[in-house]
Amino acid sequence: MFPECLECRGIRGMCGINPCPLLAEVRSQLPVVEPTSIDEMVGPSPPQLFVGRYGYPDVRAGPSASWLSENDSEFAPSATGDPADLFGRPLEEVAARHANLITGGQRMKVQEAQRPGQMLETTQEIAMAARSVDVELDFASPIRIGRSPTFDSMSTPLGPTGEVLRAEVVGHPSIPRKVDSIAGETDLLATDAMDELSASSIGEAHISRLLSSGILGRESARRLVPTRWSITATDDMLGKRLWRRARDLPSIDKVLVYEATYLDNRFHIILTPGLWAFHMLEAWTRGSLWSDSGKVLGDWEEMEPRTKYADRVTGAYYAARLGVLEHMLSVGRSGACLIWRDIGEGYWAPVGVWLIRETVREAMKQTPKQFDSLKEAVDYVGPRVSSSDDLRNSWFVKRGQQTRLDSF
């Protein structure tokens, strides 16, 4: 393991070794599938698509479909395309369900979203669907099933990929009326479109698909958005929308601590009275996927959402923040927040930032422990996290120890 592994996370190739040896070890722990090859298929798309980022603004884009039906295997993907449906399932199952998807694509310019060809039209139709839809794919050359999937710390695992000659939806996809309406509004800003979709109970996974496939925004500005970017952009924009509503709510009057654990990701969430601030600390503990010695990373914001990308915690920052702001709106209270995430060696396969978003949501459903001060809360949380010193010396805690104008 190299010192830069935690920064690279198998994406940037910083060590020069291809494929990443750590991710190769992850793949070896997945269920073994009998190798075979196919050059055409008809199968259910969860619905799901993938837009790559390499070569941007020329990207590879296309739909994903399962070569296993929902009835054929316990590892078939969910029927809504939302990985959150798998929350609570064991890691092996979560990773394998997405690894069983085949993604077909073609190289295209991101501006083609404005005047899509047949391939992109099919991909956009799948993006709009609320539930699984059958898709027919013809490949330029045989696709080998059973080979190792690709893992990404942001998005769900990606199974075999190949060049597609033809893609066609079989049957009639179920498209929510609001999604159909928004897709046809070519004078609506993407941010406003996301506001309207969210207000109509369209989930972030569906919104991210629409953004990625170039369906949202004014017609002249519509672009394909790489999947990794669209996930973070959706969490960020929805979070900012909630922050604008939460900032003027009355503050909580106690310090509250929420806790939840899933797939060896242990969360401690501290809410304090006062003006908005958000600090997330990620501790990759000794023996975890990207660190053999342990390391703590952190990003924060104060008074308002940050404009610079949280490049240390990355997409997990925005996913966690969204869950906290949703809770504040639901209880009608504002405040500041510190999140500590411990990642243990049991999290041996990265499955995407949806895990962070859903575990934070689960934590916020629990009855919190109450304290009269931040110090008392830190004294409680400190012995329960991997590095008490890093917690006590964090920006958020030191900020809370200073005399502030709003305390008078």
pLDDT at 58: 96
pLDDT at 282: 95
Would the pLDDT of 139 be above 70? yes
Q: Which residues of 266-288 are buried (b: 16+ CB within 10 A; e: fewer)?
A: bbbbbbbbbebbbbbbbbbbeeb
Closest-CA residue to 120 (of 27, 204, 49)? 49
Least-confidence region, from 32-46, 68-82, 142-156, 180-194: 68-82
pLDDT at 342: 96
Would the pLDDT of 408 be above 50? no
Q: Which residues of 109-120 are buried (b: 16+ CB within 10 A; e: fewer)?
A: ebebbbebeebb
pLDDT at 292: 62
Examine residue 21 and say whether the peptide bond preceding it is cis (omega within 30 degrees of 0).
no
Closest-CA residue to 325 (of 361, 378, 280)? 361
65-70: average pLDDT = 68
Quote the pTM value.
Answer: 0.88
Would the pLDDT of 407 be above 50? no
pLDDT at 240: 97
Would the pLDDT of 264 be above 70? yes
Most confident range, picked from 31-40, 194-203, 340-349 = 194-203
